Amino acid sequence: MKRRHLFEWEDQAWLPVVFRNFITDHLRYFLTRKVRGPVNRAIAGHLKSVLIKTGGKQIIDLCAGAGGPLLEVQRILSEDMDEPVEVLLTDLYPNVEAFRRREVEGGGAIKARYDSISAFDVPLGLSGLRTLFTALHHFEPEGARQLLADAAHKRQPIAVFELLERTPRMFILTGLFSLWQSFALTPVVGRLTLQRFLLTYVIPIAPAIFLWDGLVSVLRTYSPEELREMADSVGAEDYDWEVGRIYVSGPCGVLLPTIFLIGCPQIAAPLGVDAVSPDEVGCAA
């Protein structure tokens, strides 16, 4: 399928917060359920590899929405993989209510910035492993390249995970699942306010917006080959990139893909130590 960067509601600054929060709350629920188990651990394993190589102790989640799967990933890193790490949630349009819930649920390991943070120019004071979960497709190629370049030129590692794939099969599955989740799971996704109830079950505008954005997200998703080409065009010296796929068995045994791009600066060898070979400084987990 050809990539098409069509209109997406969530990208619009004027979108009322009730609809934006509906989308981000449902996306977090979807990501949390879909990436648990093997994929959650695979993601944590990739992040651990980069954290060890760079000596990092903090994850800076960009375009965090409602928090994505990072609560569980952080727990796996800290408790199961003996790699304690703190998470800072950021977004251009922060979901304040969701951020507050994630901070409480994280027990001090999850914190949030409630001011607007652009992924194009992350403040120098926010140092750590940058992550994006199902967010890179929101950017057109030049914007995505700018986002990657900001991390590379500021010598910060970055890990991008897209839990979609641009295929007809994923287009159909996403449409069906978006409709089912909107109507069946809204009572357990986020907080069911009167306004959310009315806009879901009486005048179903929120499910229609969620369905549209889900289908467009599939059409916008970058292939591994496109991600590799984009990363190579950044032109940062002494910075390595890795691209790949993770598959996990979903409902009814359906294989669900996660495409990832990981970049990290090469670590210079200390004085008096032989130079490190390129294989030893790559991002491969």
Residue 179 maps to a domain: no
* Confidence at residue 218, expressed as pLDDT on a 0 to 100 scale: 94
| Both structure tokens of 65 | 């929405």
Answer yes or no: is 71 within a domain.
Answer: yes
In a domain, 195, yes or no: no
> Considering its fold, how many domains does the chain have in total?
1
263 backbone φψ class: left, alpha, beta (φ>0; ψ -120 to 50): beta
Reported pTM: 0.84
In a domain, 116, yes or no: yes
Structural domain contains residue 5 = no
Q: Is residue 190 part of a domain?
A: no
For the segment 257-281, what is each residue's pLDDT rounded down to a tens digit? 899 999 999 875 443 333 333 333 3
* pLDDT per position as a tens digit, 184-216: 999 988 889 999 999 999 999 999 999 999 999
Q: What is the pLDDT of residue 250?
A: 65
The segments of the chain whose pLDDT lies below 50 read 269-282, 284-285
Residue 214 lies in a domain: no
The C-alpha atoms of residue 275 and residue 2 are separated, in whole angstroms, by: 43
> How far is C-alpha 43 from the geometric centre of its chain's CA atoms?
11
Residues of the domain holding 158: 12-166+221-281
**What's 160's domain CATH number?**
3.40.50.150
- What pLDDT, on a 0 to 100 scale, did the predictor assign at position 252? 63
- Cα dihedral 124, 128, 133, 134, rounded to 10, equals 40
Question: Distance (Å, rounded) from C-alpha 87 to C-alpha 69?
Answer: 11
CB atoms within 10 A of CB 177: 16
186 in a structural domain:
no
